[in-house]
Amino acid sequence: MVQILDADGRRHEDPQYSAYAVDLDAGDLRAMYRDMVLTRAFDAEATALQRKGELGLWAPCVGQEAAQVGSAHALAPRDFVFPSYRELGVAQVRGLDLRETLPLFRGVRHGGWDPHAHNMQIPTLVIGAHTLHAVGYALGVQRDGDVGTGDPTRDRAVVAYFGDGATSQGDTNEALVFAASASAPVVFFCQNNHWAISVPTTTQSRVPLVHRGGGFGVPSVRVDGNDALACYAVAREALERARAGGGPTFIEAVTYRMGAHTTSDDPTRYRDRAEEDLWRAKDPIARLRVYLERQDLADAAYFAAVDAEAGELAESARAYCTSLTGGPAEEMFEHVYTLPHPLVTEEKAARAAYEAGFADEEDAR
């Protein structure tokens, strides 16, 4: 397993991947730390909002910030991201206003943002389905000639983020087949957080998940998912190779879901406190902070400023969430297909007629 920054915040050299992280300066590392702290603060506030009845559901990502933020920092602006519903840290790095993730979970919008504004698709709630979307998009990039030109302003790559549970889905396996067959410029970034809802990874797979990629002929690497530097390094290598025409990569980032699968889940029913305490000691944010302090790359004033910004973000999230209201019911029929669809048109008309019927009854009274 690739590791550059260990659980105690000590830096180690990796013979293959350290070179990809060597040019990260103090500003880059502070930016990673800030993105991780803001992600966790927003995540905690969204969880609290759901508990108060302001959101219908929320999928916490606490504990997985390094895997998401570290890898996302390796993305180029032209790269395109296909997330699952838990990639809050990736959204933060891509410049998305995190409040735009709330309308979907409040039930007032189907999505929440324009995918092309930040080259990040809205989340796909069907487990693993978006891996096929990512490969399809990557094939389009390939056919557009935006791979292997040597021009950094043109070459692009695609990344699909998903959890360990998605590796048991047929869609993910089909995506790996297509990606390998076509040498598509796509990176499969699997966050192995050890629990697919209530089923441990060891039940899903008899071998480490990293071997899934090799079975399809896809180069694969296992990385410490709580090490932001290592996640950056392996993602950067995979993305650079994809942009150069080297084809797909499968990355298994070994991390841990510290919270519930979603707010409808109770993890105390299937895992014990000792396991959580073991992983709490590997906290990705604390790890990077210790390194920054030990190397004199950030001072107390910096950490205080980040904490203050996190508090402001949480407060802003509360105000924004409670202000969200649903639009007209007809919105549910919009953006289902790119072009008008006769079945959707028929269903929209049927619903309008159904609502009009209530008005007729009221008039009759």
Decide if 73 is inside a domain: yes
Return the pLDDT at 326: 85
Return the pLDDT at 112: 77
Q: Which residues pair with 222 in a beta bridge?
A: 252
Alpha-carbon distance of 345 to 360, in angstroms, equals: 23
Return the pLDDT at 360: 66
Residue 257 annotated in active site? yes
Which residue range(s) make up the domain with 303? 18-323
Residue 270 annotated in active site? yes
Return the pLDDT at 359: 76
Return the pLDDT at 183: 98
Same domain? 238 vs 334: no
* Per annotation, catalytic residue among 51, 110, 143, 270: 270
* Per annotation, catalytic residue among 261, 287, 289, 291: 261
Residue 256 annotated in active site? no
User: How many domains are contained in the chain?
Assistant: 2
Same domain? 155 vs 267: yes
Return the pLDDT at 338: 86
Decide if 317 is inside a domain: yes
Within 8 A by CB and 6+ apart from 267, the residues are 195, 198, 257, 259, 260, 261
* Per annotation, catalytic residue among 106, 130, 212, 257: 257
Same domain? 258 vs 338: no
Return the pLDDT at 361: 65
* DSSP-assigned states of every residue in 26-94: HHHHHHHHHHHHHHHHHHHHHHHHHHTTSSS-----TT-HHHHHHHHTT--TT-EEE--TT-HHHHHHT
Return the pLDDT at 137: 98
pLDDT means per 10 residues, the chain with 365 residues, are: 96 97 97 98 98 96 98 98 97 97 92 92 94 98 97 97 96 98 98 94 93 95 98 98 98 96 94 94 97 97 98 97 89 87 95 86 65
Q: Which residues pair with 158 in a beta bridge?
A: 80, 186
Return the pLDDT at 334: 85
